[in-house]
Amino acid sequence: MHNLLLIDDDANLTELLKTYFEDRGFSVRIASDGATGLRMVHSCQPSLVILDVSMPVRNGWYVLERIRELSNVPVLMVTARTEEEHILRGFALGADDYVAKPFSFAELLARVTAVLNRVSRSQQEAPSVQIFGELTIDLSDRRIWRSGEPVHLTPTEFKLLTILIQHAGRVVSQEELVRKAWGEQYLEDIGYVRRYVWHLRRKIEIDPDRPQYIHNDRGYGYRFELVEPSLRSIH
């Protein structure tokens, strides 16, 4: 059974969502403010967090930042704003997906299910530790280091990186990346790939503007370049 944590100050909405998801086999807990939500993330170990952006005292941005300091739990943001700058801020802080208000409960369920499926597929990858240049990647434990320092990726970012590594040396189309990382229902949202690649480069590349690992073949897709391990990586 998947455990959901709803962090939202709208009591009417969270009670309705709790009933809706529990009727569909989920276990649901509710936090009405960011501080309580942070405590519950660590005490309840949820499978996924549904986090509202607009909350008093501690807004969703602050809560997401604190979550990402210690946890890779998937986070789905709920927001009334859909400007690209607003959405990119969420992805930069580690959000795994967005739902814009007003939304249908069916849409929210579909997005929650898609994120959980991505995480599940990532966790089922065969155990493997690979070294590329300054990067050491443990595909089974979903951990990554650059020059010996841990790099914190969201589950979706790690899934995208895993797909690129599995096809290292060849270009993977944006459509294929969307299909494998997000699912068929997201094929019209090609923009997801560009956003996530941007964030991946910022985290794993020494110079994101001159990428060593993730290369863009304009008009088609992305390619993960096989880089020989450095002496530091080997030792």
CATH topology of domain 129-234: Arc Repressor Mutant, subunit A (1.10.10)
Cα 179 to Cα 120: distance, rounded to the nearest angstrom:
15
| CATH number for domain 3-123, candidates 1.10.3080.10, 3.40.50.2300, 3.30.70.2190, 3.60.15.10 | 3.40.50.2300
At residue 19, the pLDDT reads 96
At residue 234, the pLDDT reads 40
Which stretches of the chain drop beneath a pLDDT of 50? 126-127, 231-235
DSSP-assigned letter for residue 184: G
Cα 188 to Cα 84: distance, rounded to the nearest angstrom:
16
At residue 181, the pLDDT reads 79
At residue 122, the pLDDT reads 60
Q: Looking at the whole model, is its pTM more than 0.85? A: no
At residue 123, the pLDDT reads 60
Closest C-alpha to 74, from 113, 18, 40:
113
* Residue 135 identity: L
At residue 231, the pLDDT reads 47
Rg (CA), the chain: 18
| Domains of the chain by residue range | 3-123, 129-234
At residue 121, the pLDDT reads 67
- Whether 3-123 and 129-234 share one fold: the answer is no
